[in-house]
């Protein structure tokens, strides 16, 4: 069982997501009417979708907020989870980017989503979690607007919609923060007295310490790790997937993998079979098999013009991401 995690920034606050450019439609399937149940602040809303016709999978939806207790002036997240079962009889699903639900006195600051696939015998459990970020500007009750999620079979025109009902939240009064004392006059006087005492103590210590030779200290330089650099490159490469430029996307993933292996383990890029063999023998066979599948698919997309499916795009991303996240990776001749 492998988990597929892809974090993609969907939109800035207040912007409306637009649909991706897709191949010409081949099927015309009707849109089912979803149903929903009401919810209370901090609870989970479960939406039961009417079974769609054709080869659409039935998507289930649940929603919650994190943290459960919301305070004015502190960020919180609205999480909407979509799950469905993918079988041989269901089509390949693609989603339209949703709009960020709005609410009065609650400012939307951004959103992202993560996907996860769990493969079983003849089915695949798929989960996609959308995370909407908010900043409540003042205390009181508010309601997040209905969140609509539209999906369709790849290559068709008709969208199926499932919606999270309006979600009520209650914002508690602002909690005490140390920064709130900045404008307090008594606090400023107290801090001035403390500062003066600290200065006097420093002068005394300095005069006493002049008789001793102090060792020079070199400034600590903050160095970005190879993992951090690789993850930054991975985010840049993922922009090509969002734009639908799949050959550039796979080329970017290869560049991330090549740079990371050379910098972290001094492993030079070699023939596919040799590279896969070294990774598999040094870590786990599953990681090597994932890289092998990724490199084969990458060549097909770049040189044969193959159009990758959304699951293939996710699996390619995860194959490279697992190499970066594998902390105990040791390759012969590559160091620790």
Q: How far is CA 334 from the centre of its chain?
A: 30
3-class secondary structure, 114: strand
- Do 136 and 105 touch, CB atoms closer than 8 A? yes
Q: Which region, left, alpha or beta, applies to residue 27 given φ > 0 means left and ψ of -120 to 50 means alpha?
A: beta
CA dihedral sign of residues 258, 261, 266, 271: negative
Could you list the beta-strand ranges (E) of 13-153: 45-47, 60-66, 70-71, 76-86, 93-95, 106-119, 124-136, 140-144, 147-153
Q: Is the pLDDT of residue 2 over 60?
A: no
Single out the residue of 74, 299, 36 nearest to residue 166, CA to CA.
36
Least confident span in 43-47, 72-76, 254-258 = 43-47
**Sequence ranges of the chain with CATH classification 2.60.40:** 8-172
Between the alpha carbon of residue 123 and those of residues 3, 126, 155, 189, 235, the distances in Å are 15, 10, 22, 68, 30
Q: What mean pLDDT, rounded, does the chain reach?
A: 78
Average of pLDDT values for 69-96? 92
pLDDT digits (tens, 9 = 90+) for 126-173: 999 999 999 998 999 999 999 999 999 988 888 889 999 999 999 999
| pLDDT at residue 309, rounded to an integer | 92
Q: 8-172: what CATH class?
A: mainly beta
pLDDT digits (tens, 9 = 90+) for 33-51: 343 333 344 555 565 555 5
| pLDDT at residue 224, rounded to an integer | 81
């Amino acid at each position: 069982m492998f988990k597929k995690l892809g974090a993609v920034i969907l939109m800035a606050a207040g912007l409306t997501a637009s649909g991706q450019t897709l191949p010409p439609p081949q099927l015309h399937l009707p849109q089912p009417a979803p149903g929903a149940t009401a919810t209370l602040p901090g609870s989970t809303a479960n939406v039961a979708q009417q079974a769609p016709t054709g080869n659409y999978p039935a998507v289930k939806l649940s929603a919650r907020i994190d943290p459960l207790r919301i305070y004015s002036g502190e960020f919180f997240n609205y999480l909407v989870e979509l799950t469905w079962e993918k079988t041989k009889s269901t089509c390949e699903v693609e989603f339209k980017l949703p709009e960020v639900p709005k609410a009065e006195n609650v400012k939307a600051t951004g959103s992202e989503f993560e996907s996860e696939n769990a493969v079983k015998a003849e089915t695949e459990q798929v989960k996609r979690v959308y995370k909407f970020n908010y900043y409540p500007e003042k205390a009181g009750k508010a309601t997040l607007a209905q969140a609509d999620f539209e999906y369709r079979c790849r290559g068709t025109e008709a969208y199926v919609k499932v919606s999270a009902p309006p979600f009520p939240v209650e914002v508690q009064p602002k909690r005490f923060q140390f920064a709130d004392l900045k404008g307090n006059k008594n606090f400023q006087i107290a801090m001035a007295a403390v500062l003066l005492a600290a200065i006097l103590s420093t002068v005394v210590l300095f005069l006493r310490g002049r008789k001793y030779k102090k060792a020079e200290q070199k400034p600590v330089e903050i160095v970005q790790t190879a993992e951090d650099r690789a993850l930054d490159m991975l985010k840049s490469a993922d922009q090509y997937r969002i734009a639908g430029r799949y050959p550039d996307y796979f080329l970017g993933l290869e560049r991330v993998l090549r740079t990371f292996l050379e910098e972290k383990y001094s492993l030079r890029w070699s023939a596919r079979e040799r590279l896969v063999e070294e990774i598999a023998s040094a870590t786990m066979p599953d990681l090597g098999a994932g890289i092998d599948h990724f490199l084969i698919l990458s060549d097909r997309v770049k040189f044969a013009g193959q159009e990758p499916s959304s699951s293939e795009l996710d699996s390619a991303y995860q194959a490279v991401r697992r190499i970066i996240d594998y902390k105990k990776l040791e390759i012969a001749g590559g160091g620790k």
